[in-house]
Every structure is written in structure tokens, then in C-alpha cells.
């Protein structure tokens, strides 16, 4: 099963600027990836307060040029809120992967085992954060959009002066397409195997028929022929060319 891919469309003051596509590392951190995927699709419903567990319409509330852009607070919309699909926060799933490149998708937190819904996208390697944040995806398309957003002016608290929103988000259909292609390939291979078995069965029947005919021919040809040791095939006495009195020509 391929890793899921999600998208986010970013807008500045209501004007669409572009789409970013992320690959989620579900093969390494499945719970963290599923949290982000579900928050992109809104499939987890609402929280206990009735707020949709959904990134759509939420803000990028923190931008630090040359470091990262951060968002995901759909409850308070100021960087102090957010919630996971598991209720509140959840534990760190895997801290082995370092933030060693730009374009990595990383969980933001308030310390150990406090993952909610906030995330950030790295703009450079961040070795000082090693072992502190779960890396759960990467940008596969639209990194230029992230770079453009990172250059927006901010206030003294790193909050962008202009309103930057996730105007739309969701999951791409890559997994369904892969599943359809996999099923089609399985059906193709099954058909080939069935055809092979059918050909083998037909060949077996033909061989049986050939063997039967050869045996019938041999029985017909042999007639009364018997083998005598050292003299080849000889007809039995009393059968054509011989008489009860002995062997002609001897």
C-alpha cells in the first residue's frame, strides 16, 4: 500500500496562491499520519465542543523566515489550540527521523507526548530539534508556495500581518488508484494462470489421445509377433510362412 498524499490550498486575504501536496509517512508513523489525513478530510467529525476536526479554514499563525511555517490550530486560531482526532493530544510515535532537510512535515508540540493538530513545514535542516518532534511527511509538490509564504511580513510574535488560510484541503486519490491498478494486475495474472492451466489441460488430453492411438497402432502392428532372444522378432510357428513341420528355408 503506497503512502497517502494530502493537499492544502493556501490563500492570502482570500486570494488563492497555490496548492501544496504532502506525502505522509504512514509506513513509519501510521497514527500520526492518520491524524493529519483525517484532519485534512474532516472525516473525524467534530470534537466534544462541536468544533469540526478539520483544517479547512484554519490559519498559518506562525512564520519564521528561513526556519519554518506553522499552522493547524483550528480551535483557537492563534497557536494556543488545536486537537487530535484521538481526543486532546497523543504520544510521540517515533522521534528517530531528524529534521534534516527543507520541506519536511513535522508535528508541533508543547513538549514530550503533546501532539495535537498543529504542524510545521521546515525551511532548512533543524539539528537543534533532533529527538523533540515527530517527522511524519514531506512536501512532494508546491514547496515554492511554502517558500513564498515564508517571506510574508510578520509582527513581533511571528504572526503574519496578512491573513493566511488553508482555504481547502483533503486527500488525493492516489491510494484508490493504486488499489484499482493492483486489483486489475491481480485479475490479469489470474487470467494468465487460468489460461496456462487450460492449455496444460488441453495438452494433457491431446497427449493422452496420442498415447492411446500409439498403443492401438502398436497392438495392431504386433499381431502375433513375439520376440526371440538374439533373433529379433519372429512369427510364431504355424502362422504364415511356417508350418507345423518346421521352419521354411532352414
Looking at 5, 37, 133, 138, which residue is catalytic?
A: 133
For the chain, helix (H) and strand (E) counts, in that order, are 3, 12
Looking at 25, 37, 59, 70, which residue is catalytic?
A: 70
519554518: which residue's cell? 68
Beta bridge partners of 106: 120, 135
Looking at 31, 67, 90, 175, which residue is catalytic?
A: 67
Looking at 109, 159, 174, 175, which residue is catalytic?
A: 109
CA-based R_g, the chain, Å: 38
7 is known as an active-site residue: no
Grid coordinates of 4: 497517502
Residue pair 25/33 in contact (Cβ under 8 Å)? The answer is yes
Looking at 74, 119, 120, 136, which residue is catalytic?
A: 120
CA distance 230 to 240: 21
* Burial bucket for residue 175 (CB in 10 Å: 0-12, 13-18, 19+): middle
61 is known as an active-site residue: no
67 is known as an active-site residue: yes
Looking at 129, 152, 172, 174, which residue is catalytic?
A: 129
* Burial bucket for residue 107 (CB in 10 Å: 0-12, 13-18, 19+): buried
Beta bridge partners of 225: 235
78 is known as an active-site residue: no
129 is known as an active-site residue: yes
Residue pair 122/107 in contact (Cβ under 8 Å)? The answer is no
109 is known as an active-site residue: yes
Could you list the active site residues? 62, 67, 70, 109, 120, 129, 133
Amino acid at each position: 500500500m503506497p503512502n497517502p498524499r494530502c493537499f492544502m490550498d493556501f490563500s492570502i486575504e482570500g486570494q488563492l496562491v497555490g496548492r501544496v501536496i504532502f506525502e505522509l509517512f504512514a509506513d513509519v508513523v501510521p497514527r500520526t499520519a492518520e491524524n493529519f489525513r483525517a484532519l485534512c478530510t474532516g472525516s473525524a467529525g467534530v470534537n466534544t465542543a462541536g468544533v469540526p476536526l478539520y483544517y479547512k479554514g484554519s490559519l498559518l499563525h506562525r512564520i519564521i523566515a528561513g526556519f519554518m511555517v506553522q499552522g493547524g490550530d483550528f480551535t483557537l486560531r492563534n497557536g494556543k489550540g488545536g486537537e487530535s482526532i484521538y481526543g486532546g493530544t497523543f504520544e510521540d510515535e517515533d522521534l528517530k527521523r531528524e529534521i534534516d532537510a527543507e520541506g519536511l512535515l513535522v508535528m508541533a508540540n508543547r513538549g514530550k507526548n503533546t501532539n495535537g493538530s498543529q504542524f510545521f513545514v521546515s525551511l532548512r535542516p533543524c539539528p537543534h530539534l533532533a529527538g523533540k518532534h515527530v517527522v511524519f511527511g514531506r512536501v512532494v509538490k508546491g514547496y515554492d508556495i511554502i517558500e513564498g509564504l515564508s517571506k510574508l511580513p510578520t509582527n513581533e510574535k511571528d504572526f503574519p500581518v496578512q491573513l493566511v488560510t488553508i482555504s481547502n484541503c483533503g486527500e488525493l486519490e492516489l491510494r484508490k488508484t493504486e488499489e484499482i491498478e493492483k486489483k486489475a494486475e491481480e485479475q490479469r495474472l489470474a487470467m494468465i494462470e487460468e489460461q496456462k492451466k487450460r492449455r496444460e489441460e488441453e495438452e494433457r488430453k491431446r497427449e493422452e489421445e496420442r498415447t492411446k492411438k500409439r498403443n492401438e497402432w502398436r497392438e495392431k502392428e504386433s499381431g502375433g509377433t513375439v520376440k526371440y532372444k538374439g533373433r529379433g522378432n519372429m512369427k510364431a510357428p504355424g502362422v504364415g510362412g511356417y508350418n507345423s513341420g518346421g521352419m521354411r528355408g532352414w
